[in-house]
Amino acid sequence: MLKGKVAIITGSTSGIGLGIAKVLARQHADIVLNGFGDAKEIESIRAGIVRDHDVRVVYDGADMSNGEAVRGLVETTVRTLGRVDILVNNAGIQFTAPVEAFPPQKWDAILAINLSAAFHGIAAAVPRMKKQGWGRIINIASAHGLVGSTHKAAYVAAKHGLIGLTKVVGLETAGTGITANAVCPGWVLTPLVEKQIADIAANKQISLEDAKASLLGQKQPSQTFVTPEQLGGTVAFLCSPAADQITGTAIAVDGAWTAQ
């Protein structure tokens, strides 16, 4: 479906981003991986996608906290692969603390990576997409882009902002062949969440399975984790002709979390 298209997925060396990259590669899109990690492991991931799906895959370690580096990621992609058709803004970080104790430097870092990076990437990609007459901008927001939770001031603010940015870009690009949408996952079983589960188990002195149930029970009525592959499927759908008129909206993939 996506043969000949080039997709940038930020924060794609693990977790949700890697799951999305693999699904888009399965649809024969060429892939730009981005993120931090061990160089040998990243090269193994890159080579594995090439081997499994016979597509072009490059890695760019652009720092998502630096706006110029984000814009440079788009320009480097165009120089290297010839175009940019799909931009998935997935990179994100988290920190939790009550608002009165929230470290200012953590606030600045979360806003930079979770929100400003998407702005810089979109601003650089939209002119390219307009020239082509086709583009897909997909912002990986969160259930926390739709509702709040305690101790997550920066993350909730950034994700709400990301959905607002999505609406504006959807309006500004309407009728150009470009769509902009946000995907809002609930709890996803990523390495980051697995660490949270382990911490719950240790603190409460319960099993990992009970800790998982405890985490899900707080928010997610389905009592089942979302998978990176399911989110990849949602992104692939938004890249399909069936989604040509879906733009400027937020799609919750959250096991009914935000239905409450």
For 37, half-sphere exposure in the C-beta direction (CA atoms, 13 angstrom radius) is: 19
Instruction: Catalytic residue, from 107, 155, 225, 257: name it.
Output: 155
160 DSSP assignment: H
**DSSP states of 225-242:** -B-HHHHHHHHHHHTSGG
**DSSP states of 104-126:** HHHHHHHHIIIIIHHHHHHHHHH
Helices and strands (DSSP H and E) totals, the chain? 9, 7
In sign, the C-alpha dihedral spanning 91, 136, 143, 207 is negative
Structure tokens at 57: 């895959």
Structure tokens at 199: 């911490």
Catalytic residue flag (residue 59): no
Q: Which single residue is written with the structure tokens 């580096």? A: 69
Report phi then psi at 247, rounded to 5.
Answer: -155, 150
Three-state SS for 252? strand
Catalytic residue set: 155
